[in-house]
A and B are shown apart, each in its own frame.
Chain A
Amino acid sequence: MRSRIPLALLVALAMLVAACGGGGSGADTTESTDTTEPTGTTEDMTSTTEAMTTTTGGEMDLAFDAGFDEATGTITLGALAALTGPIPDIGASLLHGHELYWDALNGDEGGVAGMYPVELIVRDNEYNPEVNPVVYNEIKDDVLAISSSLGTPTTATIFEAAAAENILVAAGSLASQWALTDNVPLNLAAGTYFSQFANAPYWATEIADPAVITEDSVIGMIYQADDYGEDCLNGLNFGLENTGLELSYEATYAATDTDFSAQIGGAQAAGVDVLFVCALPTALATMLGTAGAIEYSPTVLGSSPSYNVALPAALGQGDEVAGIGFFSSFPYYGLGAGPSFEDDTPGMTKMRESLEAYGADIPDQELNAFFWFGYAQAQTFHQILEAGVANGDITRAGLLGVIPTIQDFDPGFGGDPTGYGPTPKDKIPTNEDNIGVPVSLSERVFGLDPVSDFFVAPYMADWDPAG
């Protein structure tokens, strides 16, 4: 009899199972549940926090729920950065760029709308899909939104749970798939991986002089085996299809791979003379080193996150000039080069001023395209917060609602004005791209010298991320 006590508890657990509604809610069974492409709309989402209002400057009420301190007016945002794991350099650069923007906003203007300072809670997601949900859950109750979550596969693990609580998650990622969501706004100042690779064949055949790709070129691609790589691949296929070219060779690698002999050797065996690479910097460096070792030198076009200012010195064994010469020997073209640190555009001028005023402790090696990306991502989130304040509503649901209203915003980095809209196609802020080649850091702080203006291939007007 006594031995039945634990048994009774097991039965109670079993009854809990019996009380379960199966694997999910009834509604789920009929809806698309792809975690990378949710179908829920803002109206479908249910907030678990209760909205309150405060009076701002005695003039208007501001509705708020989580991540807002009524007493001080402080808005608290979360940042999930990759400070350890496979890409700590990128993670640190992106985070420090992000922090610089908020520091400058708080210091120069007093915060959002001149009165709401922004505070960041930072956690390390290790670029690990298992860690990201843990750190997200650790801070989500204390923040209004996640203004930076580094990585495509990592962000894919949290954005659905965030959507269920109306939490915005700005991914540190240029994957076009985020345009299929309601709660992951893309960076207003940057194109997607898809657009980088879709535009590239147009630039290589129509703009570059001499042409980088001809009708005799044998085109290949090596890409990271995840969402990031697939977005690049889809973009390249779209671009090649519209320029009458074809992909002759493709190979994947895992994000943690360190040996690329098979992929590079395969490209060489296939006679590839134009090689597209969608990778992270360490992988690109190893690939090029492997190619150099087997005296294989195709023209290489790499995605924006594949190049890092530290690569030339690393490949030149400490000699930056030799490293740049090594890159030029292929040659190497960086897609999505973005603006240069030295540009006289309003946005870059402001960033330089902010750096001087608030960036005393940021190391030089972190001033790169990732640093700029983090900065621009904060700028994007700032626009969303400004729209929310102007609308008198910075609740989580309120912020989701104002995103489509952000139109014709000029980030100030040399591209056309951008914005969002209600459809997946509208949620891609820009398809603009530019191309750069490696140069010495003494010439360009970000390490890439643009060889093209911002441009868009004409066929990009036909692209809809929803298919």
Chain B
Amino acid sequence: MPDRHLRTSYKEDMALLPNRVNRFWLTVLLVALVAYPFFARTLPATDFWIVLAVLVLIGATGGLGLNLLSGFAGQISLGHAFFLGVGAFVGATVATPATTTLSGVSFWGLGWPWWAGALMGGLVAAVLGVLVAPAAVRLRGLYLSLVTLALVFLGEWLFTAPALEPITGAVRGRPSRPISMGLPLLDDGALSNNESLYFASLMVAVVAFVIGKNIARSRVGRAFQATRDRDIAAEVIGVNVTWAKLTAFGLSSFMAGAAGYLLGVFQSNPLGANFGGAPGLLISVEYIAVIVIGGIGTVLGSALGAIFVVALPELVSYLTQQGWLPFVAATGSGSFDEAAFSTILFGFFIVVFLIFEPLGLFGIWLRLRKYWKGWPFSY
């Protein structure tokens, strides 16, 4: 009987879930993710744990988009926040009914289901991403990053332009309707808005990771990686580099758009100014941190990075408030407080990962997995 980890055919090598161990742990993970909000109901501050998971799932989806573009295809982007913003406003317009406020501000809206908001937010962002892609065909490295940087400043104008007020709300932001779901298995069949948003985010993330995993192991992923490693050589061996870059931008923007829609729902009143200019740049940099810490060029790393970057500051804050970090003071106390501790921890881990573990958390995961595979032997 062959070793369970020995792949003896190309078909096995290409399988999404090559063995029983993979399938078992994926099943456990999915069950745990579905059960999470119901477990959270038993915890104090239930909604805190749910919204924290929502932000992680949104960060993982958006992070995966950036990882496909930068990690797999090697195209640096500082404009990720622009596509998140596009998704937030397009998705809100699609999934929120048209409305006129008491003070007379009218918003366009279709009132379609939430998944249509995520889909359309993603599609429109993807179209815009594909429009940007031709610049990537001619540019690379710092020059490309400057072009994508321009996107966040374009977004600052676009998202607050008075002419687009019916879509973006201009300077005031626009409403993004809460997601509401029912679950027949429950007694009252109802999920709270936060739980509904969690399941919506989970579904989008699952779809995104299935797409990401498929791309990473298939012809498209290999084309991305060939383009990243040496685009001229890739072209010589028959890879259509232009097509690869176009696809990478499209896919990345699609995932950012879908994540942006969910982020808009989370914020309930997404504000254009937060997705453009300096705040937008900050968001883009955070997503870069997600893939650097999680693992550049890995699918799982996007999720691990999101857990670290998104959840860490909130967890530090929570643990401090609960008195579990006695050496850290409450924010605003003037001494070594939770905000300072989070910032130091964040910077420390980025430096450590870049120097000692370039593959990020995914690299640590790989080493742990290898260790347990051989356990109790060290080889």
Residue ranges of A at the interface with B (Cβ–Cβ < 8 Å):
2-3, 5-6, 9-10, 12-14, 16-17, 19-25, 28-37, 39, 81, 83-84, 88, 91-92, 95, 122-124, 126, 129-130, 133-135, 137-142, 153, 156-158, 160-161, 164, 177, 180, 225-227, 229-230, 252, 254-258, 424, 465-467
Q: How many A-B residue pairs lie within 8 Å, measured between CB atoms?
A: 227
Contacts of A157 in B (CB 8 A): 267-269
A230 x B111 contact (CB < 8 A): no
> Which of chain B's residues have a CB closer than 8 A to the CB of A252?
160, 171
Report B155 CB to chain A, min CB distance, Å: 11
The answer to whether B113 touches A129 (Cβ under 8 A) is: no
Question: Which residues does chain B contribute within 8 Å of A160, judged by CB atoms?
Answer: 178, 268
Residues of B contacting A30 with CB < 8 Å? 97
Task: Across the A-B interface, give the 5 residue pairs with the lowest CB-CB distance, nearest first.
Answer: A83-B332, A137-B47, A138-B48, A35-B269, A22-B113
Q: Is the CB of B102 within 8 A of A6?
A: no
A12 to B33, CA, bound (A): 13
Distance in Å: Cβ of A291 to nearest Cβ of chain B: 22
Known: A13-B202, A257-B277. A180 touches B45 (CB 8 A): no
Best-surrounded residue of A23, A83, A129, A137 (most CB of chain B within 10 A): A23
Kindly provide the distance from the CB of B180 to the nearest chain A CB, expressed in whole angstroms.
5
Q: Cβ of B117 and Cβ of A254 under 8 Å apart? A: no
- Neighbouring B residues of A122 by C-beta, 8 Å: 330, 332
A130 to B50, CA, bound (A): 14
User: Which residues between 187 and 217 of chain B lie within 8 Å of chain A, taking CB atoms?
Assistant: 193-194, 196, 199, 202-203, 206, 210
Q: Is B164 positioned at the interface, with any CB of A under 8 Å from its CB?
A: no
- CA of A99 to CA of B203, assembled, Å: 43
Instruction: Decide if B99 is an interface residue (CB 8 Å cutoff).
Output: yes
- Decide if A81 touches B332 in the complex (CB within 8 Å): yes
Q: Determine if B240 is an interface residue (Cβ-Cβ < 8 Å).
A: no
Chain B contacts for A25, CB-based, 8 A: 180
Q: Cβ of A133 and Cβ of B266 under 8 Å apart?
A: yes
Contacts of B107 in A (CB 8 A): 34
Q: Which residue of A lies closest to B274 (CB)?
A: A129
B183 touches A19 (CB 8 A): yes
Check B101–A22 contact: CB distance below 8 A: no
Interface residue B115 (Cβ < 8 Å from any Cβ of A): yes
- Nearest CB on A from B315, distance (A): 11
CB of B112 closer than 8 Å to a CB of A: yes
Taking A19-B183, A23-B177, A139-B45 as contacts, is the C-beta distance between A230 and B171 under 8 angstroms? yes
B218 interface hit (Cβ, 8 Å): no
Beta-carbon nearest neighbor of A256 in chain B: B278
What is the bound-complex CA distance between A266 and B287, given in angstroms? Answer: 35
B267 lies within 8 A of A130 (CB): yes
CB B329 to nearest CB in A, in angstroms, measures 11
Whether A29 and B331, one on each chain, are in contact in the complex, defined by CB atoms closer than 8 angstroms, is no
Residue from the list B175, B178, B273, B332 in contact with A254, Cβ < 8 A: B273
Ordered by A's residue number, 10 sampled pairs between the chains whose C-beta atoms are within 8 Å are A22-B113, A34-B107, A35-B175, A35-B176, A95-B332, A130-B267, A138-B318, A230-B172, A257-B277, A466-B102
Q: Contact: A21 with B182, CB < 8 Å?
A: yes
Residue interface mask B284-304, A partner, CB < 8 A = 1: 000000000000000000000
Q: Once bound together, how far apart are the Cα atoms of A421 and B55, in whole Å?
A: 38
The verdict on B262 contacting chain A, using a C-beta distance below 8 Å, is no
Of the candidates B111, B156, B203, B271, the one having the most CB atoms from chain A within 10 angstroms of its own CB is B271
- A225 to B160 Cα, complex, angstroms: 8
8 Å CB interface, B80-106 against A: 95-97, 99-105
